[in-house]
Amino acid sequence: MNLDPGFIWTALRSLLQAVPTTLAITAVSSLCGLLLGTVTALLRIYRVPLLGQASSAYVTFIRGTPMLTHLLLIYFGLPLLIDGPLAGAGLPVRSAMIPMIGFAYIAFSITAGAYLSEVVRAGIQAVDRGQMEAGLAVGMTTGQALRRIVLPQAMAASVPNLSNSVIGMLHASSLAFTVSVVDINAQAQIVASTNWRYFEAYLAAAILYWGMTLALERLAALVERRISLYNRGGVSS
């Protein structure tokens, strides 16, 4: 088989139209996942009755099952719930109203939440207990100390792991093609079927993914430098 470099370029241009989809899935699931992960991490660290155990169960179940399974469970399970009990209760909802990408958002947020829960938990535990105690000593409530003292430091400590997870999500978002969401990888298959040059199309997809990953790495480095300033005594707040 011979390589057609020209088609890599053609494919690359065609793949650009799928970039927003891939970025949207990555951004939405990472952000929602971070929120979910932070909440579950706190519930677990503070051993909140019931909710803490529920969070632990959530993390172990989701980390114990593949991401594609989550997507399929949501894709087939959610319509059962919506068209069954909810529609039966007279609510004007139908599963067909959820756009396909919605299933990907929901499923991948749940996936990301479990992994990020561990990332955030590690970050929080990396902060010295004395920080919390100092906050309490000057009269802050636990919530205030968490928000003002612990979480900012915890986030700084989590940035490398966070960027790792986001990059993982960027690459894993290609699973969304299972539910007819055309991401970069899917677009590569589609453009290749016009002239059967799959290898070139996949190569173009790889270049694009790599480029996006490089940008993410740069962004993470920037954020890390900015967010860790306190550590070097650069800011006295």
**What's the closest the beta carbon of residue 75 comes to another protein, in angstroms?**
6
Q: Count of residues for the chain? A: 237
State the residues that interact with another protein by CB under 8 A.
Answer: 1, 68, 72, 75-76, 79, 94-96, 100, 177-180, 182, 186, 189-190, 192-196, 198-199, 202
Minimum distance, C-beta of residue 132 to another protein, in the bound complex (Å): 47
Q: Is the CB of 9 or the CB of 76 nearer to another protein?
A: 76
State the minimum distance, in angstroms, from the CB of residue 96 to another protein: 4
Nearer to another protein, 118 or 200 (CB): 200
Is 51 or 199 the residue whose CB approaches another protein more closely? 199
- Among candidate residues 110, 114, 147, the one with its CA nearest the CA of residue 28: 110
Nearer to another protein, 51 or 72 (CB): 72
Query: By C-beta, is 89 or 96 nearer to another protein?
Result: 96
**Using only C-alpha atoms, what is the Rg of the chain?**
22
Name the one residue in this structure whose structure tokens are 């055309």.
Answer: 182
Question: Closest Cα to residue 169, out of 79, 104, 235?
Answer: 104
CB of 107 to another protein, least distance (A): 12
- In this complex, which beta carbon is closest to another protein, that of residue 76 or of residue 230? 76
Q: How far is the CB of 202 from another protein (least distance, A)?
A: 8
